[in-house]
Amino acid sequence: MTTNTLSTTIAEPSITADEAETLLFALERSRAQLAWKVGGLDAEALRRPFPPSGMTLGGLVKHLALVEERQMAEFVDGRHLEEPWRRERFEADPDWDWHSAADDTPEELYALWERAVARSRAGWAAALARGGLDQPSLCTLPDGTSPNLRRVLVDTHDEDARHVGHADLFREAVDGLVGEDPPQP
């Protein structure tokens, strides 16, 4: 194992939190769970596949970094995707995020994910300050409609939560770590 750790702090909202605060809490909780399940692992553990799937914990980290970045770019803040998310990489390999993680160090993977999460947090804060979850996203669908930010936030959380389930099983196979939420201070 390595000493690289990610923040696993879960800040509980008020028991009377509004909808946006509650939905953002759900996303933050999934992020903390993921950080706990993938944190502190060495390159070998992050690259280990779990047949019959080709998924790895490192691939999960990189994929979820992409999800955070793509949701912001396409739906919330409109900023272009930056390195390493060049379109031609995905044209050559639609699963580039999953496959290329094997070439990254734990430090690179953790830093990539942390940057994506920081951008997402800032993007959500700015978007909510502009008008809340009812406002339309930046994405226009082929039928001319745009999902509202509520739908985008729920979809982002769903993607994280789905993959936290994978990370939970994979981490248990690596070193026996089990549990739903990371221990809190």
Task: Per-residue pLDDT tens, the chain, 185 aa: give them.
Answer: 555 578 899 999 999 999 999 999 999 999 999 999 999 999 999 999 999 999 999 999 999 999 999 999 999 999 889 889 988 999 999 999 999 999 999 999 999 999 999 999 999 999 999 999 999 999 999 999 999 999 999 999 999 999 999 999 999 999 999 999 999 98
Written as one letter, the residue type at 130 is R
**Beta strand extents in 126-179 (DSSP E only):** none
**DSSP helix/strand/coil, 140:** coil
Domain boundaries, the chain: 19-175
- What are the residues whose beta carbons fall under 8 Å from the beta carbon of 2, sequence distance 6 or more? 40, 41, 42, 106
Q: Which pLDDT value is given to residue 52?
A: 92
| Composition of the chain by helix, strand, coil, percent to 5 | 60, 0, 40
| pTM beyond 0.95, yes or no | no
| Residues ≥6 apart with Cβ < 8 Å to 86 | none
- CATH C-level class of 19-175: mainly alpha
Q: How far is CA 14 from CA 11, 19, 21, 31, in A?
A: 10, 11, 9, 19
Structure tokens at 56: 């790895």
